[in-house]
Amino acid sequence: MKRDAAKQSMELSEIEELIRVLEQSEVSELAIRKGDWGVTIRKGRPSLAVQPAVVAQGPPAVPAPKPSEISEPREVALTAPMVGIFHALERGPKDGDTVRPGQVLGVIESMKLMNDVRSDVGGTVVSAAVEDGTPVEYGQPLFRIRPAQSAGKEAS
């Protein structure tokens, strides 16, 4: 019977081979299921998707702002790091709550595994974009967060 259980799970050598394959590819995430057992392997840690503005070719119409004139972003979107079902935490953040970097804001269920959704920034939750039990796609906004003002900014 022990042999049957081993056939249904993955050997450590198989997982190590999957890691080598992932490292050599341009893919950032690999999920494999074998019998009742599965594994998800990711490269690095997904971060908030802050889309750069598209800049037209040619000379700029206005001069670039001085570093002292650059302000912090008003809001950033915390996006889904994978496809799955979003589940809000029982005591999860509500609009107006303060969150800190690394704080778990919810989970995404994917292949019967629960994956934490963590904030990459500290600040105030402006809005939750999805409700508990909602299917989400990779990169879909989950929360909008207004970053906290950087500590230690000096007055000019």
What is the tens place of the pLDDT at every residue in 96-135?
A: 899 999 999 999 998 888 999 999 899 999 988 898 999 9
How wide is the angle at C-alpha 27 spanned by C-alphas 53 and 142, nearest 5°? 50
In this prediction, residue 124 carries a pLDDT of 92
The CA–CA distances, whole Å, from 138 to 50, 83, 85, 95, 100 equal 14, 5, 11, 23, 23
Q: Stretch 12-18: mean pLDDT, rounded?
A: 76
In this prediction, residue 1 carries a pLDDT of 46
The structure's pTM equals 0.50
In this prediction, residue 34 carries a pLDDT of 67
From the number of C-beta atoms within 10 Å of its C-beta (0-12, 13-18, 19+), residue 24 rates as exposed
In whole angstroms, give the CA distance from residue 105 to residue 141: 13
In this prediction, residue 60 carries a pLDDT of 52
In whole angstroms, give the CA distance from residue 98 to residue 127: 12
Range with the lowest mean pLDDT among 66-80, 94-108, 134-148?
66-80
Higher-pLDDT residue of 52, 85: 85
Which residues lie across from 54 on neighbouring strands?
A: none
In this prediction, residue 155 carries a pLDDT of 41
In this prediction, residue 85 carries a pLDDT of 93
In whole angstroms, give the CA distance from residue 137 to residue 148: 27
Q: Which domains does the chain carry?
A: 2-42 (no CATH), 73-147 (2.40.50.100)
- pLDDT, tens digit (0-9, with 9 covering 90-100), for 20-66: 777 777 777 777 776 666 677 777 655 444 445 444 555 555 555 55
